[in-house]
Amino acid sequence: MKKLTTLFLFSLAISVFAVEGGSCVVSGFVTDSASGEAIAGANLKIEGEPYGAACNIHGFYTIPAIPKGGPFTLVVSAIGYKSIKKQIVCSEEPIRLDFELAEEAIVAEEVVIEAKRVGGMEDPYVGHTIVESRLVKYSPGLAEPDLFRSLQLLPGVLAISDFTSGLYIWGLSPGENLILLDNIRVYNPTHLMGFFSTFIVEAVREANLVKGGYPAKWGGSLGSVLEVTNKDGNRKNFEGMAQLSLLSGKFLVEGPVANGSYMVGGRRTWIDLATKMLKNQDTMEEDIPYYFYDIQGRVNQDFTDRDIATFSFYAGDDIFAIEEDEENPPEDPGDTLHPEENDDDFEYRWGNVTLSAQWTHIFNERLFGHMVLAGSRFRAKLEGDNNDFNLNNSVGDVSLKGDMSYFYSNEHTLSFGGMLKWRECHFKIDEAGYEEEPGSGEESTFSYDKYTGASIIALYGEEEYKPNIFWRVQAGLRTEYATNGGYFRVGPRLSAQRRIDDLTTLRFATGAYYQYIHLHNPLEDQGFAVLDVWVPVDDDLKAAVASHFVLGMDTDHLPAHLSTNIYYKRMFHLIEARERFVFLVEDDIHSVFYEGDGWAAGFDLSLEGKLGPFAGWVGYGLGWTMRHMGDANDGLNNGEPYYPKYDRRHSLKLSLGYKPHPRLNLTAAFC
């Protein structure tokens, strides 16, 4: 660990003296002119020169070394916004330029969920897509727009059934994906047993999805990364929205506050209220005592033109509660051995809470930093009548993270940072008043309480090298140490981009990834996410390992934009429950789970474009997913490899948008 830290400091010291002389640095933020929201992925380019940059997720850019002289024409552009030009003259003094872009009128092609590449053809990531909230709103959905179901329109992103919004991406399951909300991990991001995602679409600015081969700044997951960013809130004007649908009611308020902005959104479903009303009108025999709610928000303050503080929060619960029917009491209230003859109280509640405080600081025109202090918790609680049965299941963490970017020349950018995380898992069951032997009349009590706490320490460094306009290479290293099991792991990451011409780019990425917590979902085969149990690794249960190899290509030489990817992922130390439905009530983890390995491989492509008043895309995926658990003496499928349920050989996605009138958008999708 000390050697790695020394290496980081040495690299940084070299970079300080590698600054090009006789040049200037241009940096600043790009925001929406109407709301003041950051525009991630906005492009900045010097006309006729090989100098440019793309905004990061905070809307910040740096062009490190523009030659002294000028005037130069700086062009600022982003998908869905009007481009602007600015004349600049470079001396050796740094230039700070902030830009505000105005939205263009929404046209038919923007109605369709489409890939938006950060930096356009210069995006170094493979299988990378940014989906904006405004596009999700126009996407066909069940009852109301949903972020996860919109993402399922992308090639390579699947659902195990029509009943779940869980994301099965390039052969890996939801528990193997890293899902972040404002840099905070969300452990169970679904409602209604996986039918809807937890995120309120109107409160989200965008979702950043990397399907595989992601860089060193992310870790702790075998599969893909989905980074969801809340809206900052309108910095110019107060806005509010209220909406009622057959499923739910929701609101969103945003506006300026002091030297910043705020945004608060909320949602609650009507399932319990509507069915109770129908029951009272004798339209239904029984009501459905279930509902869920969400509330999420964000507050931003600019203390200086170099310091931005952000506070972000989310809370949401699913609640299923049955109360004793007072009008029809049970014939024998004291009969605890035959609960089916009683109308007992029952409540099952599960949900997430996240909190974060973030600080964005521009140390100078070349050094950008972002620090996060965050906490996240998922918990499920089940209570039976008179506390005869109680189940408590929770997973949570507190994290301190820092990410730095140093733009020391047009050819070199150094990124580095680290994370300190404390994570705890708790699973507890108490059951009383049941018969161990049917007919004995003797009641027994059962209790199980398992708590695990662990720390995870991670450091990473990454160098981006652009020797010319044709090549871009990112080489990184991530080291992780997990105290539960004493695992020290080193994960190299490498990606490369070769620009063939102005319209075609090839990309490659590979890396090693580790996961120190497993997800056990007893109802995964049925497509429901309601009883999720997170199982931490230890001396006996190994940390999961994966290697990614991804190759991609994008071209605009055809009448429609073509994007295609080939991937292979190899995994080790995976787990699978021995029984279809099992609670974790054994200290010997191998009596509950099989341990094995697997792989996933496939190919996907998408064509998107416009024909007359119509715009849309077609996506196709071909994939294989294989698992191997145990051996011939003790294993699934007699120890032979098998295809899990979420293995899908072929998938076809179609999306079509049509705008016959400025106020009318028609969309259709097939997947």
pLDDT digits (tens, 9 = 90+) for 628-647: 998 888 888 888 999 988 78
On the question of pLDDT at 378 being above 70, the answer is yes
Least confident of 45-49, 422-426, 432-436: 432-436
Q: What confidence tens digit (pLDDT) does each residue in 273-328 have?
A: 888 888 888 887 888 889 999 999 999 999 998 999 999 999 999 998 887 655 55
State mean pLDDT over 480-494.
Answer: 94
Q: What is the dihedral of CA 179, 141, 555, 224, to 10 degrees?
A: 20
On the question of pLDDT at 213 being above 90, the answer is yes
On the question of pLDDT at 399 being above 80, the answer is yes
In whole angstroms, give the CA distance from residue 189 to residue 179: 8
On the question of pLDDT at 60 being above 80, the answer is yes
The pLDDT of residue 129 is: 82
On the question of pLDDT at 588 being above 50, the answer is yes
On the question of pLDDT at 545 being above 80, the answer is yes
The pLDDT of residue 127 is: 84
Structural tokens at position 353: 């809470």
Tokens 């490899």 belong to residue:
641
Pairing between strand 23-32 and 99-101?
Answer: parallel
The pLDDT of residue 108 is: 47
- CA nearest to 667, candidates 103, 167, 151, 109: 109
| Greater pLDDT, 569 or 112 | 569
Least confident of 291-300, 513-522, 581-590: 581-590
Distance of CA 69 to the CA centre of its chain: 44
The pLDDT of residue 13 is: 45
CA distances from 650 to 150, 163, 173, 571, 605 (A): 19, 19, 17, 22, 12
Least confident of 389-403, 480-494, 524-538: 524-538
Structural tokens at position 605: 């492509």
The pLDDT of residue 367 is: 92
Q: What confidence tens digit (pLDDT) does each residue in 430-466 have?
A: 877 655 566 666 666 777 788 889 999 999 999 999 8
Max Cα-Cα span within the chain: 94
On the question of pLDDT at 385 being above 70, the answer is no
In whole angstroms, give the CA distance from residue 637 to residue 118: 44
On the question of pLDDT at 334 being above 80, the answer is no
In angstroms and rounded to an integer, the radius of gyration of the C-alpha atoms of the chain is 26
- CA nearest to 461, candidates 408, 507, 401, 404: 404
On the question of pLDDT at 120 being above 60, the answer is no
The pLDDT of residue 253 is: 96
Confidence of residue 667 (pLDDT cuts 50, 70, 90): confident
State mean pLDDT over 366-382.
Answer: 93
In whole angstroms, give the CA distance from residue 15 to residue 12: 5
The fraction of the chain above a pLDDT of 70, given in percent, is 82
State mean pLDDT over 643-667.
Answer: 80
In whole angstroms, give the CA distance from residue 661 to residue 267: 31
Mean pLDDT of the chain: 83
The pLDDT of residue 614 is: 75
Distance of CA 522 to the CA centre of its chain: 23
pTM for this structure? 0.85
On the question of pLDDT at 143 being above 70, the answer is no
Under 8 Å CB-to-CB from 86, ≥6 apart: which residues? 73, 74, 76, 97, 99
Under 8 Å CB-to-CB from 8, ≥6 apart: which residues? 416, 459, 461
Confidence of residue 18 (pLDDT cuts 50, 70, 90): very low
- CA nearest to 191, candidates 278, 275, 271: 271
The pLDDT of residue 432 is: 73
CA distances from 449 to 431, 459, 543 (A): 12, 34, 23
On the question of pLDDT at 145 being above 80, the answer is no
On the question of pLDDT at 10 being above 70, the answer is no
Confidence of residue 604 (pLDDT cuts 50, 70, 90): very high
Least confident of 409-418, 474-483, 486-495, 586-595: 586-595
Element (H, E) at 110: helix 108-111
State mean pLDDT over 16-21.
Answer: 45
The fraction of the chain above a pLDDT of 90, given in percent, is 39
The pLDDT of residue 610 is: 75
State mean pLDDT over 481-495.
Answer: 94
Size of the chain, expressed as the number of residues it contains = 671
The pLDDT of residue 158 is: 84
The pLDDT of residue 109 is: 47
In whole angstroms, give the CA distance from residue 609 to residue 595: 45
Q: What confidence tens digit (pLDDT) does each residue in 156-211 have?
A: 888 776 666 678 899 888 889 999 999 999 998 888 766 788 888 889 988 889 99
Neighbours of 4 (CB within 10 A): 15
Top mean pLDDT of 124-128, 516-520, 575-579 is at: 516-520
- CA nearest to 317, candidates 266, 353, 356: 353
The pLDDT of residue 114 is: 45
Confidence of residue 16 (pLDDT cuts 50, 70, 90): very low
